[in-house]
Amino acid sequence: MDWQKEDLKYIWHPCSQMKDYEELPPIIIKSGQGVHLTDIDGKDYIDIVSSWWCNLLGHCNLKINKAITDQLNTLEHVIFANFSHTPAIKLCQRLADVVPAGLTKFNFSDNGSAAVECSLKMAFQYCYQTGNTEKTKFMCLSDGYHGETIGALSVGTLDLYAKIYKPMLMDTIRIDAPDCFRCPYGKCRDDCECECFKKAEEAFEKHGKETAGMIIEPLLQGSAGMRIYPPLYLKKLRALCDEYGVILIADEIATGFGRTGKMFAFDHAGVSPDIMCISKGLTGGYMPMAITITTDKIYNAFYSDYNEGKAFMHSHTYSGNPLGCSAALAVLDILNEDKIIEKADKTAVYLHGALQDALGTHKNVGEIRHIGLINAIELCEDTITKKGFDTKLRVGYSIYKKALEHGLILRPLGNVLYFNPPLIIEKNDIDHAIKKCVQSIHEILD
């Protein structure tokens, strides 16, 4: 059977212009192991992007496989309203020990966008029920991305995803995000005082009284091109939110579970958000699951007699799914027992050094920025002026296609190529991935 033809006959793929598939048809994957994927023709690919950043511990991890299989033979799902199960309870116990201080209550959903939507509704209703009815708006950073539902798109500011839906979206307050590569103040992210934070101060001074919540991708704006900014920005934002009584929402969907070198990105700053959204690495990329975590203070504003109408009437059919909880428990076991994050920190030094050696002086590489194992290669037409390639040229996409020929999944973000591998990647796979990446860049740009 021609599986590619059958795929295109039925499937509308996500985040894709399907006409592109006429030239580059879907690659049908048969199996996976570690950082490798194998298609139905036996070709091997290095999954250097962790299958959209969620595959935390490699494909077909035996411990996670067993945890899900054991749970499957016991209980696959149960309604989560007025019912519960031990995997969910155990997972919350375990997470309570590792999330930023003060986060104590866990609300389950089934994907990252839903977790963000939950956080916005939670913050809005909290303000309403605590007498702050004037607080109806949300703040967010420019070039942010928080998911694809209407609320999540409203606080995401990338036109690629949101522009066409503007008539449907909430009116939000947008703050110029840090852009350390093209810093308008001529500073460096490693030793600046976050001079760009004055944009946030101006926005809060003008709109703080009417703002319910501020949502942020901590330290790493993923879809904006893996933009990385200093922890000091989070410290300043925490203080500003406290001053104006604004709920600080951390979207740790992409940054959680060791991606930035610590368990959560907020750990770098030593402060805590009021609400935190987690997903992706939560189950190691195995099961769709997300959690919105908040404080006792926010939770208590909803705790009342039923007839007062203060309950949080927000639900998902697959909330607290036992299979997802079991996968997440296995992920936490592996992270702890195998010292995965500590080992990944050492691997991260090797990966960044190797990328710098291979591409640091390339005529079209403006910067190779990094945090944890994440490395972003910013391609420029002119590295002196930092002028990017015309997006219509689709330079990143051209390199992506070439990399696929060489067996490397290097899905670009515009003119930014990135490495965001599973935390268990080893040096030999790093070497092979860099070699394939360099070859692909040379074949397109040289």
Provide the residue type at 117 as one letter.
Answer: E
Specify whether the CB–CB gap between 136 and 345 falls below 8 A: no
Q: What pLDDT was estimated at residue 237?
A: 98
Q: Is there a shared CATH topology between the 3-60+340-445 domain and the 66-337 domain?
A: no
Top CATH class, 66-337: alpha beta
Q: What pLDDT was estimated at residue 326?
A: 98
Q: 177 has which bridge partners?
A: none
How many other β-carbons are positioned within 10 Å of the β-carbon of residue 27?
A: 15
- 342 contact partners, CB below 8 Å, separation of at least 6: none
Q: What pLDDT was estimated at residue 431?
A: 98
> pLDDT tens digits for 111-158?
999 999 999 999 999 999 999 999 999 999 999 999 999 999 999 978
**What angle separates helix 62-72 from helix 322-337, to the nearest 10 degrees?**
150
CA dihedral 52, 261, 226, 168 (to 10 degrees): 60
Q: Tell me how far apart the alpha carbons of residues 379 and 368 are, in angstroms, rounded to a whole number.
A: 9
**What are the distances in angstroms from CA 230 to CA 68, 138, 176?**
38, 23, 15
Q: Tell me how far apart the alpha carbons of residues 341 and 331 are, in angstroms, rounded to a whole number.
A: 12
Q: 107 has which bridge partners?
A: 292
Specify whether the CB–CB gap between 133 and 141 falls below 8 A: no
Exposed / middle / buried, residue 373 (Cβ in 10 Å: 0-12, 13-18, 19+): buried
Q: What pLDDT was estimated at residue 160?
A: 79
Both tokens of residue 52? 């959209």
Both tokens of residue 266? 């907020």
Note the pTM of the prediction, 2 decimals.
0.97
Q: How far apart are the first and last CA of the chain?
A: 39
CA dihedral 169, 294, 422, 75 (to 10 degrees): -100
The correct answer on CATH 3.40.50.1820 for the domain covering 3-60+340-445 is no
- 84 contact partners, CB below 8 Å, separation of at least 6: 320
Per-residue pLDDT tens, the chain, 446 aa: give them. 999 999 999 999 999 999 999 999 999 999 999 999 999 999 999 999 999 999 999 999 999 999 999 999 999 999 999 999 999 999 999 999 999 999 999 999 999 999 999 999 999 999 999 999 999 999 999 999 999 999 999 999 788 788 899 999 999 999 999 999 999 999 999 999 999 999 999 999 999 999 999 999 999 999 999 999 999 999 999 999 999 999 999 999 999 999 999 999 999 999 999 999 999 999 999 999 999 999 999 999 999 999 999 999 999 999 999 999 999 999 999 999 999 999 999 999 999 999 999 999 999 999 999 999 999 999 999 999 999 999 999 999 999 999 999 999 999 999 999 999 999 999 999 999 999 999 999 999 98
Q: Tell me how far apart the alpha carbons of residues 297 and 1 are, in angstroms, rounded to a whole number.
A: 58
Q: What pLDDT was estimated at residue 315?
A: 92
Q: What pLDDT was estimated at residue 54?
A: 97
Q: What pLDDT was estimated at residue 246?
A: 98
What residue segments make up the domains of the chain, in order of their start? 3-60+340-445, 66-337
Pairing state between β 211-216 and 137-141: parallel
> pLDDT tens digits for 30-72?
999 999 999 999 999 999 999 999 999 999 999 999 999 999 9
> Rounded to 5 degrees, what angle do the CA atoms 9, 10, 15 make?
105
Q: What share of the chain is helix, strand, coil (3-state, %, to 5)?
A: 40, 15, 40
SS3 52: helix
**Greatest alpha-carbon span in the chain:** 70
